[in-house]
Amino acid sequence: MRCPYCKHTENKVTDSRATDDGNSIRRRRECLSCGRRFTTYEVIEDVPIMVIKSRGNYEMFDRGKLLNGLLRSCNKRNIPREVLENVVKNVEDAIRNRAKQEIKSSEIGDLVLAELKDIDEVAYVRFASVYRNFDDVQAFVAVLEDLRKNDKHEVEK
């Protein structure tokens, strides 16, 4: 680690502790040349998730884009934002726990729908209508029938 003041490369760590979020380590260092102290942070480097879009092009996974889609689907549905942020976290965790760092956008949509099904059926249908790009009313009705069929299975259990 190079001293930001004198650019000397030798220093010692005087204090080390985890940050509040637990995702990085804060280190206080002292330069062995000029004696000045400075702080560094050590963080885990995340490998970017690459999303394979329906047309075959690639784009980096964007949690903000996913959250915005969820917010639109849940508009006027009285679902707390923290619930939607938790959906995004669950989806991102599921993707990162896979062996590959590439995922099809359709797989991301399926992960989101699995989460939304238990939260709000209207939001589920709204998200599905955009994600599955319904071409006609029959595709829309098929999703509704699937929801109804799943509700009957839940009642029978």
pTM above 0.85, yes or no: no
Cross-strand partners of 6: none
Condensed to tens digits (0 to 9), the pLDDT of residues 82-111 reads: 999 999 999 998 998 888 889 999 999 999
Strand order in the sheet with 11-18: 11-18, 24-31, 37-43
The domain limits of the chain are: 11-43, 50-156
The DSSP secondary structure of 28-83, one letter per residue, reads: EEEETTT--EEEEEEEPPPPPPEEE-TTS-EEE--HHHHHHHHHHHTTTS---HHH
Q: How far apart are CA 101 and CA 59, in angstroms?
A: 12
Condensed to tens digits (0 to 9), the pLDDT of residues 108-156 reads: 999 999 999 889 988 988 888 887 777 777 777 877 787 777 665 454 5
The proportion of the chain whose per-residue pLDDT surpasses 90, expressed as a percent, equals: 57
Residue whose structure tokens are 């790009």: 133
The proportion of the chain whose per-residue pLDDT surpasses 70, expressed as a percent, equals: 95
Q: What is the largest CA-CA distance in the chain?
A: 74
